[in-house]
Amino acid sequence: MDGSCLKFNKPIEDAISRIRFAPQSNNLLISSWDSSLRLYDVDCSLLRLEAPSEAALLDCCFGHESVAFSAGSDGLIRRYDLHSGTFDTVGNHDDTATCIQYSNEKCEVISAGLDKKLMSWDMRRANALIFSRNLDAEVESMSLSGFNLTVAIGSSINTYDLRNLDSPVQSNESCIGVQIRCVFSVPYSTGYAAGTVDGRVKLEMSYPSNSNHIDYVFRCHPKSKDGRYYLASVNDIAFNPLIAGALVTGDNEGYVIAWDGKNRKRLFEGMDVPCCRYFVLDFE
């Protein structure tokens, strides 16, 4: 796998928690444990915006091309104007806010935190909080596709419909038997891929144009030089939005691997970075 590194004049000084490509450009949004949200122009490796705060940022997302949101260790959900660099507070969790997603269909921000709450914020209202529910467990990861919100709690996966968050429309208790590290929704379809701390991926997909329902678990280990496989936590997953069923996984040992999920094939592996233990992924 060929690739190139982005070269920045001012390196990020702490771990990156999330990267997100903009909806309509090559701008890259990056949240970090160094408490800053950054916007980079990938085409020219130029820092367009740096917005410091007083708390580590654990997640971020675009609202649209000129608006972004972040989840902070101080519990705050922040909204950023990417043109002016200013930001304000949408609301807060009672503990660290860990996950954040934005719904174009509902104009709502969905957040979760260590306070074990799932919250929804309507960006069209002055009093933005419209929903709050105690899940009785910390959310490990969550992902949104259309109206389908997929939430990972422990070893379980719950799927909610944003139009009614009172109860999940599908609940898969202990779907893989060990703690889930990350989950990513299948774009333009239904289903998800969930990565575990012991190096496995559960893949569940249904496409309207195909009657076959895909549901299986596979080991996600890179090939080592001595021919042996080893356990490595799957830290992030991203689907290719242009190729149905194509995804990449990033693990705890510095590998990125591409997969053909529909045909159960490993396509290639690369980016062996031994000093890099945590991956965050996104497709351009």
Residue-level pLDDT at 272: 56
Q: How confident is the model at residue 202 (pLDDT cuts 50, 70, 90)?
A: very high
Q: How far is CA 266 from CA 90, 214, 249, 255, 263, in A?
A: 42, 16, 11, 13, 9
Q: What is the pLDDT of residues 72-130, one digit of tens each?
A: 999 999 999 999 989 999 999 999 999 999 999 999 999 999 999 999 999 999 999 99
Contact 140, 181 (CB under 8 A): yes
Q: What is the pLDDT of residues 224-233, one digit of tens each?
A: 656 666 678 8
Query: H helices within the chain, ranges in order?
Result: none
Residue-level pLDDT at 5: 67
Q: What is the pLDDT of residues 24-80, one digit of tens each?
A: 888 999 999 999 999 999 888 889 999 999 999 999 999 999 999 999 999 999 999
Nearest Cα to Cα of residue 206 among 179, 180, 245, 254: 245
Residue-level pLDDT at 227: 64
- DSSP-based three-state secondary structure for 221: coil
